[in-house]
Amino acid sequence: MSVGSASLMRRKPASLSRLPRPGISETLPWVLLVILWILDTSLQPALWSSEQIGLTLANGMALVLVAMAETAVIITRGIDLSVGGMMAISNTLLAREVGGSTVSVLLWCAIVLIIGAAGGALNGILIGVTRLQPFVVTLATWSIFDGIALWILPTTGGSIPNSLITLPLGTWLGLPRTVWFLVLLIAIWAVLARTRSGRAVYALGSDPVAARLSGVSRRKTSIKVYAFSGVCAAAAGIFIATQTASGSPTVGDPFILSAVAATVIGGTSLFGGKGGFAGTVAGAFVFTLINGVTFQLGINSYWGELSQGLLLIVAVALHHATERGARARGRRR
């Protein structure tokens, strides 16, 4: 083999044209959100008031929290079906135990979040240590958590003190409290995603084999990410308590699949490794606003159901049409 002539071949350097650019899947939820927002406000002019914004946010916040949980887990190529159950546990426990004093409120909120972390960690251990599939494990723990919630509070009831109910209401420094809360959530995610653990989460979802070879501990990362999911779910349970002023053992069930839907519409791929919270927030509010708009238009709420289903399918199909080509080109070995 004549080595000399080898130097004639110059390979093109990895050029700047290969830098990542936002695609359809990232912008779609925002476009939808803007459209829906405009629709909503045009039907109900009062919506431009900060009070209404605050309320709308409050309406969707529980879903945002559950979707935050799902986003993290989905990035690792997993899924967490148990968030509904954990949400129910935190909701029912709070409704049953919390007293009127601030101390009690703080204490029980803390307890509930810790339980969320523990339950999530259990998921993480089962998934990270053994080779069990997230779908199956969290299907099982969903049932278990639902059972625990049923045991805590067999029927809707309990009571939530006023101090907790009024927490998300009102303003702080001119903006509704819920806005600040959302900002806080976004900030938390931004920080976490930029830590080494956060990178490990993305790596694990993007390419589990390469991640392991690069030193990522599947066990530790799974535990962290599912514990995070549990905490978010528990927080969602607290939030929904402020909305409904009561506890219900089945409160979480409708949220699970909507959270997955919001995540996926928001641009996070079920294949893992990509995505983020911002898109999920958009996706969650798209869902919330669809309900709002159908209500405003006086349309049968069942149209809302239907359109949410259709939207989900269409959004993901679009997402795929653009994603698959890009991924196939990128992943060629």
Residues 44-103 that bind other proteins (CB under 8 A): 79
Query: How many whole angstroms from its chain centre is CA 101?
Result: 31
Taking CB under 8 A as the criterion, the residue among 36, 62, 112, 203 binding other proteins is 203
Residues in the chain: 333
Question: Applying CB under 8 A, which of residues 11, 45, 46, 103 lies at the interface with other proteins?
Answer: 11
Q: Which of 31, 38, 114, 136 binds other proteins (CB under 8 A)?
A: 136
Residues 6+ apart with CB under 8 A from 16: none
Contact call for residue 146 and other proteins (CB under 8 A)? yes
Segment near other proteins (CB under 8 A); pick from 31-39, 104-112, 157-165, 193-201: 193-201
| Pairwise CA distance, residues 188 & 203, whole Å | 19
Q: How far is the CB of 310 from other proteins (least distance, A)?
A: 6
Q: Position of tokens 């059972």? A: 147
Residue 253's CB: how many other CB atoms inside 10 A?
16
Alpha helices of the chain — where are they, by DSSP H? 24-43, 50-75, 83-97, 102-129, 134-152, 162-165, 177-193, 196-206, 208-213, 218-244, 253-265, 277-296, 301-331
Binding piece for other proteins, criterion CB under 8 A, among 29-37, 63-71, 110-118, 322-330? 322-330
Q: Which of 65/256 has CB closer to other proteins?
A: 256
324 scored as a contact of other proteins (CB under 8 A): yes
Nearer to other proteins, 176 or 252 (CB): 252
User: The tokens 């009070």 sit on which residue?
Assistant: 51
| Interface segment toward other proteins; rule CB under 8 A; list 52-60, 101-109, 199-207, 235-243 | 199-207
